[in-house]
Structure 1
Amino acid sequence: MSSHPFVFSAATLVSLATILPVQSKETTYIEPPMVSIPKGTFTMGSTEGREDELPIRKVTVPAFQMGKYEVTVAEYRKFIEATGYESTKGCVHRIGPQWFGSGERDGTWDDNIYVLSEFHPVVCVSRTDAINYAKWLSKASGDQYRLPTEAEWEYAVRAGTKSKYFFGDETRSSDACRYANIADIHAYSLSGKLYDAPYAQDAINACNDNEVMISTVGLYKPNGFGLYDMEGNVVERLADCYQDSYEGAPVDGSAVTKKDCEVFVARGGSWHWPAFGSSRRMMMYEDFFAALEGFRLVKDTKGKALEAAAGTPWFVKQLNEAQKNARNKHKKENPHYPKQVNDVKLSRLSKDKVKIAWQAEQKSGVTGYELLRQDPLTNQTITLVKLSHKQTSFIDDTALSHNGRYSVVALNGSSKSLPSPVFDSYSKQPHAIPSRIEGEAFNFAPGATVVNSSFEPEGDKIIGSLGTSKASYILEAQTAGDYLMTIRLFHSGPTQNYTLMLNGDPITTSVLSGERGWRTIKDIKVKFEQGQQTLTIQGETAIFAVNWFDIAMR
């Protein structure tokens, strides 16, 4: 797959008027628009995030200036034209069935599938490239530009807020799309068709930001300091050496430094992920080189509170025009996605019949509904039926003998809502033991999902992804006695508890520990009575999954 045909098929998502405009010859460099960030003290980190966001501590940051936008292709182009600098080559940028890494490592800063205009963030730049650009701009302009420190970045993104995101506390908030280009319902709807790389429903924010991938800088609402795209669009490289906690980290706003550092900090998430939050950290190796990553600059003012800098006039004028064109395109072309259907009720009428009913959506332009059924044992989802907007129930008289999973999708012409929460048909068909039971073969598991694991062997990739949800399995022991159970579980690291119960009584198991990955837990002792009983497993972290149970007589 060559990059240029792909670019122009994706270019329908942005204004063609903004692609590669004529470059001004009036300046040899572009002064970026800068926002003045006042000095202040804030609480850095979070007690509700990941372990590397601890311990929280008070940090005092001197006044400085930060780039209003992420550095664009146009700005970086001036650097290359002025210096003949050899920017890093061999960027992973193509999208395919496994998302990134399809094809050769052939991308460069000006030849990758994300160069949709001069006013998109520059990507396929290494950390060294970003630092060298900042040094050149400093020399050319007489000002001191550099990468932000991690403390400066978090202080700037929070802009005085203490919430999880600078726009609130709600996880997967629909407000996120007003402020950021992130993984959303628009990308969920189109990425599979455009790139053969679909999103999982639980990997997006349920809102529409009108973009499928990278976007022109500055299209969305700024944060409280007037900074754009601090959430989403591209990952931003920072100055700090990464360490897995804030223990001993500076409290004066300066960077964490370490001799021969190989791993650095990045922040802000990207268009490819749901909203990250103000304290969320990323680690990035010095030589990591791919296409989700860009950067923004700060101007070191030696602690002085200087007035904001408007930026090079011709650049700002062209950027404003590009933003206007992109927003107009959003209004003109992008569809209205109906609200997700949530009030669904399911009842099993007989072994072969299941009734599904839901409440009509009154004010969201719904023209009809689609009813989906997933077979968890094959991880195949089919459309059972398409109905008019007046039909709000359906009887499936070919229900699966084992558990089936149903969801409802609202339609507005060709636009679709996210599927409703999944409802199990709750088969009472037991699993005879001793036997091996697949993790996805649960009888009932509200909140769990069935997905394919890219890490497990071929022929055994379907798993039950539980998170903190429960999955229950009805077992039927032919013979009472002592059994040994082996379980294949996904462990998110470094330590993780889970609960295993038989008929509501806990079973003693070992704690998961060590590096992130799949673990096989052996020799779990269980006593089964003859007849039916219920085995239940529940995780305690957001990333927890089960591939199979193997139950054998001792």
Structure 2
Amino acid sequence: MPRHVLWMLIIGQGLLACTSQTTPIQTAINQTASSQTVNSQIIKVQQVNVNSTTLPTDLASLSAIEPPLVTIPAGVVTFPVDSNPKSKNKSTYDVQIKSFMVAKYEVTKKEFRKFIADSGYQAPSKCMHAINGLWYSAGATNGSWDNNNVSALNMAYDTQFKTSEFDPVTCINPQVASDYAAWLSQKTGKKYRLLSTAEWVYAAQGGKQDPYYKHQDKITSVCEYENIADHSAIYGAETRFKTRYKMAGYHNKTVDCDDKAEFISLVGMYKPNPFGLHDMVGNLTEFTADCIDPNKPLPSDGSPQSSDECKNRGNQGSSWHWPPFKFHRIGSWPATQVGSIEGFRLARDLTIEEQQSPVTTVATPPLSTKLFVKQLTKAQKIEQARRDKLAPIHHNLPAPQQLEIVEQANNRVKLAWQKIDGDSITYRVYRGEFLNSDSLTMIASGLTSNQYIDRNPVPDRRVSYVVKAEQGRSTSAASAFALGSPVYKTLPAKVEAEQANNRNGAFVWPNRPGDGKHIRNLNKGQWLEYTIDVPQSAEYQITYQLTSNKNGSGFKLTLQDKMLQNLKIEKTQKNRWRDNFQTLSAKVTLPKGQHKLKLESLQDQWKLDWIDFVEITHR
């Protein structure tokens, strides 16, 4: 037999033509490797020696793991023509789905580790996984599929049991997922691949039109089926990352139940959907094979959608970080994005023999699958025992009342609040990233006193704080905000956008690249208010740094609620307008005195970094 032939690691009768039905198939890894090219990256595929006399009894001796599969019957899935839920267009179109096989679980770290070890593949070394008071604002930082902030690998419990090897793999991009599928296909001689978006939606529905986890039109039972943003997610964010739970935009809502997983969960810990698939709605969003074009319907034959440039790859389902999404939501991410809420699962085309079989599951799974399921089952039992010992999370703790700043100096802010009666109640203190926004960083926890001194307040900003009560794994709602003294800027001066003393709707975000912060995504009607001290009446040159994806009417300045001037906004003439700021200028006359300067946006979607006031002439 030629050395480049790749043999399947399988066990069973009649599955390998050159093997006797009464002789066990013996496999071992030959030290000689052949090479295959997958998407410009050389994949070294180790050969399988079928002449070995020792049957592997552990996954360590196998070079690849085939996932447990479920056969999905053929059918039809219906999509809305207009995916906007507010659209008046309620027309739909049908997509035909052929029968195919789907992995019961998302691809795990244990499976992926075989790929890396066998092929020498270079997986991404940077990932969006660093979580702070602004959550993923740090962008991609050092981190990888086996070293990131949302895996249980960093927990003391996992140091003993290593159960996180059965976490789904994350911190990869769609190309890595496709390369993994190609590698496993080469190793086994079977056609593994990513699901198309239409296949994914059909499989996720489980043959149902409405979410299978609904109970009396409520979604509280979703925690029995999925790992999504819930009570444990809130607790985990506050305990592990010292921040208030935060999601972007319309996702900013957690589910009122507890799935016992703070971040990523072992696969298969929850009830399967009606097709027998686990974690289809939560845990990680899943890459699909599609190159998404939002202006076109999905192909009617169930195949992946394609586009010329493929800037956005398909991404379906929700995750540990979000509440559940509707099944028919057609999602996409930039093709190059590497984050810690994305993963994938595999599909496999049916062989001719399987197409003729009425069995809906793989009757005789490969040896690697059997060993994988055995180890996974053990890990699931260990993890379930840990979860069973967790104290319940409840929400009957009252929020602390009468929080106030009783003393404020340059490097010292003293807080006090009303003490709550009860056993074992302690307090957490959070510092606001920007006034009374929901971007908070926890600066103290486990306090038994109802007072706290912040000795490192943010300089030259109007400080803000909230306090929460805690009891075991349960926390109260946050107190009302306590705001510090306003910040006064004496002109001439550069005023940073985040030095506002009051706001309506705007929020702060780090500059990337570069230092400092800016006000992100200002929309029409939103405003920022600053307090300026003008020593003498004068004409000032105003220089302001911003970025926008379009020309527009800009923003208006008012002084003590009186119209001062409109300032224009020009489209940023660079790619990636979100990160490339430009400088514009204008002239304005300001009277002597202390004034409230209000900046009100007259258009949507722009960002402000700073405004610089330079005196031109006295008046």
Q: Specify the TM-score bucket, using the shorter chain as the normaliser.
A: 0.5 to 0.7
The answer for unaligned runs of 5 or more in structure 2 is 1-56, 132-137, 155-161
For 2:333, the equivalent position in structure 1 comes to 283
Tell me: CA distance 1:332–1:86, structure 2 relative to 1, closer, same or farther (3 Å).
same
Q: Secondary structure at the match of 1:471?
A: strand
Q: 1:355 to 1:235 in 2, by over 3 A?
A: closer
Partner of 2:288: 238
> Does structure 1 residue 69 correspond to structure 2 residue 105?
yes
Of the three residues 545, 565, 583, the one matched with 1:488 is 545
CA distance in 2, matches of 1:408, 1:268: 34
Decide whether the 8 Å contact of 1:371 with 1:385 is kept in 2. no
Q: Deviations over 1:352-395 (max 9, x none)?
A: 89986579699xx8713234455869x9975599456xx6x999
Taking the aligned partners of 1:494 and 1:274, their CA distance within structure 2 comes to 30
**Cα distance in 1, alignment partners of residues 316 and 492 from structure 2:** 49
Query: What is the distance in 2 between the residues matched to 1:187 and 1:495?
Result: 42
Structure 1 CA distance for aligned equivalents of residues 471 and 445 of structure 2: 18
Secondary structure in structure 1 of the residue aligned to 2:568:
coil
2:610 aligned to 535, 538, 548, which one?
Answer: 548
Q: Could you say if the C-alpha distance between residues 395 and 78 of structure 1 is closer, same or farther in structure 2, counting changes exceeding 3 Å?
A: closer
> Which amino acid counterpart does residue 509 of structure 1 have in structure 2?
K
| Structure 1 residues 340-489: aligned runs within 5 Å | 367-373=425-431, 382-383=443-444, 386-387=447-448, 403-413=462-472, 415=473, 417=475, 420=478, 423-425=481-483, 427-428=485-486, 430-445=488-503, 452-457=510-515, 461-464=516-519, 470-480=527-537, 482-489=539-546
Residue by residue over 1:247-277, the C-alpha shift from the partner in whole angstroms, topping out at 9 and shown as x without a partner, is 3653443212357867643344655x44584
CA distance in 2, matches of 1:261, 1:487: 36
SS at match of 2:119: coil
CA contact (8 A) 1:452 1:463 kept: yes
Structure-to-structure mapping, 1:7-406, within 5 angstroms: 22-23=58-59, 29-36=66-73, 38-43=75-80, 46-47=83-84, 58-65=93-100, 66-72=102-108, 86=119, 88-92=121-125, 101-102=141-142, 116=163, 119-122=166-169, 126-133=176-183, 135-136=185-186, 139-140=189-190, 145-157=192-204, 179-180=226-227, 184-192=233-241, 201-203=245-247, 209-211=259-261, 213-222=263-272, 227-243=277-293, 245-247=294-296, 250-257=299-306, 264-268=313-317, 271=320, 273-275=321-323, 277-278=325-326, 279=329, 281-285=331-335, 294-300=343-349, 308-309=360-361, 312=365, 314=370, 316=373, 318-333=375-390, 336=393, 367-373=425-431, 382-383=443-444, 386-387=447-448, 403-406=462-465
Which residue identity lines up with residue 427 of structure 1 in the other structure? S
Letter in 2 for 1:534: K
Q: Distance in 2 between matches of 1:410 and 1:187?
A: 15
AA aligned opposite 1:408: V
Partner amino acid, structure 1, of 2:427: Y
Match of 1:516, SS state, is helix
Aligned partners of 1:179 and 1:383: how far apart in 2?
32
Specify the code of the residue in structure 2 equivalent to 1:405: S
Inter-partner Cα distance in structure 2 for 1:420 and 1:437: 30
Q: Is the 2:520–2:607 contact (alpha carbons within 8 Å) kept by the matching residues of 1?
A: yes
- Equivalence for 1:12: none
Q: Say if 2:557 is the partner of 1:520.
A: no
Q: CA deviation at 1:58?
A: 3.3
Q: CA deviation at 1:425?
A: 2.1
CA contact (8 A) 1:374 1:382 kept: no
Structure 1 residues 254 and 161: CA distance shift in structure 2, 3 A: same
Distance 1:187 1:67, change over 3 A: same
Q: Taking structure 2 as the reference length, what is the TM-score of the superposition? A: 0.61
Deviation at 1:408, TM superposition (A): 0.8
Q: 1:33 to 1:79 in 2, by over 3 A?
A: farther
1:86 Cα deviation from its structure 2 partner = 2.0
Q: Residue in 2 aligned with 1:535?
A: 597
Cα pair 2:434 2:498 within 8 Å, conserved: yes
Residues 482 and 60 of structure 1: is their aligned pair in 2 closer, same or farther, counting only changes over 3 Å?
A: farther
Give a deviation string over 1:267-318, Cα, whole Å, max 9, x none.
Answer: 44655x44584536333547x7887654212345699997642674845565
Q: 2:550 touches 2:570 (CA, 8 Å); kept in 1?
A: no
In 2, the alpha carbon distance for the partners of 1:360 and 1:447 equals 32
Note if contact 1:70-1:296 (Cα within 8 Å) is conserved in structure 2. yes
Deviation for aligned residue 1:148: 1.0
Q: Distance in 2 between matches of 1:201 and 1:412?
A: 18
Distance 1:39 1:385, change over 3 A: closer
Q: Is the 8 A contact 1:64 1:305 kept in 2?
A: no
Distance 2:273 2:383 in 1: 20
State the secondary structure of the residue aligned to 2:267: coil
Q: Deviations over 1:533-553 (max 9, x none)?
A: 433346699986543221234
Rounded to whole Å, the distance in 1 between the matches of 2:259 and 2:182 is 33
In the alignment of these two chains, the number of paired residues is 498
What SS does the corresponding residue of 1:46 show, helix, strand or coil?
A: coil
Residue-by-residue CA offset, 1:123-174 (whole Å, 9 max, x unaligned)? 568234333256358845xxx65321123324544666689x9979x9x999
- Contact 1:431 1:475 (C-alpha < 8 Å) held by counterparts: yes
Q: Distance in 2 between matches of 1:220 and 1:497?
A: 52
Q: Percent identity?
A: 22
CA distance in structure 1 between the aligned counterparts of 2:385 and 2:602, rounded to whole angstroms? 45
Q: Runs of 5+ in structure 1 lacking a partner?
A: 1-20, 193-197
- Distance in 1 between the 2:284 and 2:310 partners? 23
